[in-house]
């Protein structure tokens, strides 16, 4: 059986910076209120005039990752694209990236696991490589939240949190023992699905029906979240997934060199950091700058940490995420 290792990383975020103060033009909020609850100072939102969208942001991140891997687009055997915000209801973003990068007619798979989308995608790519089916798999997480957020006081609990952006990783075959992805661990609990959801438009609630009803109190076509409920579950599931990964590999929290948590809320990350007794230099957070970019958050943060020199050869890197579904998971990597 082969091992798989990350050979290239890249990310892209829109140039348009939206600060907490900027949000006051749409809703009753302020910088102190947002920072106290989320730790976020600003986020990136697509400027419609630039033409950015979920797919082409993913393609921009992918180009960087492929180049850093020392490969060309023709070396990629398969694409896995994670998002909750595809450009169209169908088809998904994977095939659009294949076209945007002018790749051969390789397979493209879309993953819809929201905040844990990149963790799930990385796990799938790892299995493809370890079984010998593929040699180089492109894994992308990309989100365009700003196009579907409710920019009003009613929607502020969700709207202040989310940002746009994309990240990409190339996962490649390796014969080095004890290096690369050591294990991945995936879980779900669907009974809590509606605690963080976008119920419409969907096959059960199409847009024309919503428009026809013209009900100003109907929020089902905007994302909604039971924030306290999600927070309480997140801190538990984050910890469980990390512990599971460490125990599987006979490791301890003291062995962690870098933890990259999904950037859902700075308070969640701080809680997990304290629970595992990790110093500030062993956890990378960037939610302050980018907000929650859902499927893109882990890969953007991983890329940024690597670019800053926080991750070095032989380091134990732990990725963990929790989000809508509920779904959660972890990936343990020996760099």
233 is catalytic: no
| Cα–Cα distance for residue pair 335/306, rounded to 1 Å | 10
Specify the DSSP class assigned to residue 270. H
The per-residue pLDDT for 72 is 98
Which residue is catalytic, options 145, 185, 262, 284? 262
319 in Cβ contact with 330 (< 8 Å): yes
* Number of residues assigned to the chain: 335
Strands 136-143 and 3-12, bridge-based pairing: unpaired
The per-residue pLDDT of the chain, averaged, comes to 93
Of 3, 4, 7, 32, nearest to 20 by C-alpha is 32
Which residue is catalytic, options 20, 56, 265, 292? 292
**pLDDT tens profile 99-134:** 999 999 999 999 999 999 999 999 999 999 999 999
> What number of H helices and E strands is found in the chain?
10, 13
| Cα–Cα distance for residue pair 105/98, rounded to 1 Å | 8
Of 44, 188, 47, nearest to 112 by C-alpha is 188
Residue indicated by tokens 């896995």: 80
The per-residue pLDDT for 262 is 95
| Cα–Cα distance for residue pair 218/160, rounded to 1 Å | 20
Which residue is catalytic, options 20, 113, 115, 144? 115
| Cα–Cα distance for residue pair 13/290, rounded to 1 Å | 8
224 is catalytic: no
Using the predicted structure, report yes or no on whether residue 212 has a pLDDT greater than 60: no
Least confident of 213-222, 301-310, 324-333: 213-222
115 is catalytic: yes
The per-residue pLDDT for 85 is 95
pLDDT tier at 302 (50, 70, 90 boundaries)? very high
């Amino acid at each position: 059986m082969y091992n798989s290792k990350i050979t290239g990383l890249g990310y892209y975020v829109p140039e348009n910076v939206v600060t907490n103060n900027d949000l006051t033009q749409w809703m009753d909020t302020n910088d102190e209120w947002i920072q106290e609850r989320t730790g976020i100072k600003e986020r990136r939102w697509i400027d419609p005039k630039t033409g950015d969208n979920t797919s082409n942001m993913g393609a921009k991140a992918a180009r960087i990752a492929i180049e850093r891997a020392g490969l060309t687009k023709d070396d990629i055997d398969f694409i896995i694209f994670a998002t909750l915000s595809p450009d169209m209801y169908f088809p998904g973003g994977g095939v659009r990236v294949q076209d945007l990068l002018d790749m051969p007619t390789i397979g493209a798979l879309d993953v819809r696991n929201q905040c844990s989308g990149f963790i799930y995608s990385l796990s799938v790519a790892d299995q493809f490589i370890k079984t010998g089916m593929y040699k180089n798999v492109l894994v992308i997480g990309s989100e365009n939240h700003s196009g579907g957020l409710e920019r009003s006081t009613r929607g502020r609990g969700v709207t202040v949190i989310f940002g746009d952006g994309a990240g990409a990783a190339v996962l490649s075959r390796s014969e080095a023992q004890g290096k690369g992805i050591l294990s991945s661990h995936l879980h779900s609990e669907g009974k809590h699905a509606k605690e963080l959801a976008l119920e419409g438009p969907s096959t059960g609630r199409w847009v024309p029906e919503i428009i026809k009803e013209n009900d100003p109190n109907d929020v089902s076509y905007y994302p909604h979240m039971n924030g306290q409920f999600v927070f309480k579950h997140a801190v538990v599931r984050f910890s469980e997934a990390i512990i599971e990964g460490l125990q599987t590999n006979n490791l301890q929290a003291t062995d962690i060199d870098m933890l990259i948590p999904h950037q859902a809320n700075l308070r969640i990350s701080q809680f997990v950091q304290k629970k595992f007794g990790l110093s500030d230099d062993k956890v990378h957070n960037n939610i302050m700058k980018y907000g929650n970019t859902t499927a893109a958050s882990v890969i953007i943060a991983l890329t940024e940490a690597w670019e800053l020199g926080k991750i070095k050869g032989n380091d134990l890197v732990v990725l963990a995420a929790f989000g809508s579904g509920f779904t959660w998971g972890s990936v343990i990597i020996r760099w």
